[in-house]
Amino acid sequence: NAGVTQTPKFRILKIGQSMTLQCTQDMNHNYMYWYRQDPGMGLKLIYYSVGAGITDKGEVPNGYNVSRSTTEDFPLRLELAAPSQTSVYFCASSYPGQGNTIYFGEGSWLTVV
Protein backbone atom coordinates (compact mmCIF):
# COMPACT_ATOMS: atom_id res chain seq x y z
CA ASN A 1 0.00 0.00 0.00
CA ALA A 2 1.24 3.46 -0.88
CA GLY A 3 -1.06 5.07 1.69
CA VAL A 4 -1.77 8.75 1.03
CA THR A 5 0.12 10.23 -1.90
CA GLN A 6 0.36 13.96 -2.57
CA THR A 7 1.80 15.83 -5.52
CA PRO A 8 3.66 18.06 -6.03
CA LYS A 9 6.00 18.01 -3.05
CA PHE A 10 7.31 21.52 -3.67
CA ARG A 11 5.89 24.37 -5.71
CA ILE A 12 6.49 28.08 -6.09
CA LEU A 13 3.55 30.11 -7.33
CA LYS A 14 3.28 33.72 -8.34
CA ILE A 15 0.58 35.89 -6.81
CA GLY A 16 -2.67 35.45 -8.72
CA GLN A 17 -1.78 32.07 -10.24
CA SER A 18 -3.90 28.99 -9.65
CA MET A 19 -2.94 25.40 -9.08
CA THR A 20 -4.24 22.06 -7.91
CA LEU A 21 -2.68 19.89 -5.24
CA GLN A 22 -3.36 16.27 -6.01
CA CYS A 23 -4.14 13.67 -3.34
CA THR A 24 -4.93 10.01 -3.70
CA GLN A 25 -5.23 7.17 -1.20
CA ASP A 26 -5.33 3.44 -1.79
CA MET A 27 -6.70 2.36 1.60
CA ASN A 28 -10.38 2.65 0.61
CA HIS A 29 -10.90 5.23 3.34
CA ASN A 30 -14.20 7.07 3.42
CA TYR A 31 -12.92 10.24 5.02
CA MET A 32 -10.39 12.56 3.47
CA TYR A 33 -9.05 15.88 4.68
CA TRP A 34 -6.89 18.80 3.69
CA TYR A 35 -4.91 20.59 6.38
CA ARG A 36 -2.50 23.48 6.20
CA GLN A 37 0.36 24.01 8.62
CA ASP A 38 2.09 27.36 8.80
CA PRO A 39 5.70 27.41 10.09
CA GLY A 40 5.86 26.52 13.77
CA MET A 41 2.11 26.27 14.01
CA GLY A 42 -0.56 23.61 14.34
CA LEU A 43 -2.82 21.97 11.80
CA LYS A 44 -5.78 23.86 10.44
CA LEU A 45 -8.53 22.04 8.58
CA ILE A 46 -9.33 23.50 5.16
CA TYR A 47 -11.90 21.05 3.76
CA TYR A 48 -12.97 17.51 4.42
CA SER A 49 -15.05 14.83 2.74
CA VAL A 50 -16.95 11.90 4.22
CA GLY A 51 -17.35 10.13 0.89
CA ALA A 52 -17.46 10.52 -2.87
CA GLY A 53 -19.59 13.46 -3.88
CA ILE A 54 -19.67 14.98 -0.38
CA THR A 55 -17.43 17.81 0.78
CA ASP A 56 -17.62 20.31 3.61
CA LYS A 57 -15.75 23.35 4.83
CA GLY A 58 -13.32 23.23 7.67
CA GLU A 59 -11.82 26.02 9.72
CA VAL A 60 -10.02 27.96 6.93
CA PRO A 61 -11.73 27.28 3.54
CA ASN A 62 -11.42 30.74 1.97
CA GLY A 63 -9.34 30.77 -1.20
CA TYR A 64 -9.63 27.02 -1.74
CA ASN A 65 -11.94 24.55 -3.44
CA VAL A 66 -12.17 20.78 -3.41
CA SER A 67 -13.97 17.99 -5.18
CA ARG A 68 -14.41 14.29 -4.42
CA SER A 69 -15.50 12.44 -7.54
CA THR A 70 -14.04 9.11 -6.40
CA THR A 71 -13.22 7.46 -3.09
CA GLU A 72 -9.51 7.60 -3.88
CA ASP A 73 -8.98 11.19 -5.00
CA PHE A 74 -9.41 14.49 -3.20
CA PRO A 75 -7.74 17.38 -5.08
CA LEU A 76 -7.36 20.84 -3.52
CA ARG A 77 -7.64 23.82 -5.85
CA LEU A 78 -6.04 27.18 -5.04
CA GLU A 79 -7.54 30.05 -6.97
CA LEU A 80 -5.77 33.41 -7.24
CA ALA A 81 -2.83 32.48 -4.98
CA ALA A 82 -1.91 34.96 -2.24
CA PRO A 83 1.22 35.17 -0.03
CA SER A 84 -0.98 34.19 2.94
CA GLN A 85 -1.37 30.77 1.33
CA THR A 86 2.33 30.04 1.71
CA SER A 87 2.23 26.95 3.88
CA VAL A 88 2.69 23.20 4.05
CA TYR A 89 -0.39 21.32 2.93
CA PHE A 90 -1.19 17.86 4.22
CA CYS A 91 -3.77 15.58 2.72
CA ALA A 92 -5.04 12.87 5.03
CA SER A 93 -7.52 10.04 5.14
CA SER A 94 -9.23 7.89 7.74
CA TYR A 95 -11.71 5.09 8.15
CA PRO A 96 -14.30 5.22 10.92
CA GLY A 97 -14.02 1.49 11.55
CA GLN A 98 -10.41 2.01 12.59
CA GLY A 99 -11.27 4.56 15.27
CA ASN A 100 -10.81 7.31 12.73
CA THR A 101 -7.02 7.27 12.95
CA ILE A 102 -5.82 9.86 10.46
CA TYR A 103 -3.08 8.91 8.01
CA PHE A 104 -1.21 11.84 6.54
CA GLY A 105 0.47 12.28 3.20
CA GLU A 106 4.05 13.54 3.12
CA GLY A 107 3.02 17.14 2.60
CA SER A 108 3.24 19.72 -0.15
CA TRP A 109 5.42 22.79 0.44
CA LEU A 110 3.85 25.78 -1.32
CA THR A 111 5.42 29.23 -1.57
CA VAL A 112 3.53 32.16 -3.10
CA VAL A 113 5.74 35.06 -4.20
Partner 1 sequence: GENVEQHPSTLSVQEGDSAVIKCTYSDSASNYFPWYKQELGKRPQLIIDIRSNVGEKKDQRIAVTLNKTAKHFSLHITETQPEDSAVYFCAATLDQKVTFGTGTKLQVIP
- Count CB neighbours of 55 within 10 A: 18
- Select 13 or 29, whichever has its Cβ closest to partner 1: 29
Among 55, 64, 90, 112, binds partner 1 (CB under 8 A): 90
50 binds partner 1 (CB under 8 A): yes
- The pattern of x and - marking residues 26 through 45 that bind partner 1 according to CB under 8 A reads -----x-x-------xxx-x
Q: How many CA atoms lie within 13 A of 23 on its CB side?
A: 32
- Select 52 or 82, whichever has its Cβ closest to partner 1: 52
- Select 48 or 64, whichever has its Cβ closest to partner 1: 48
**DSSP character for 73?**
B
76 binds partner 1 (CB under 8 A): no
Cβ proximity of 85 and 21 under 8 Å: no
Burial of 99 (0-12, 13-18, 19+ CB in 10 A): exposed
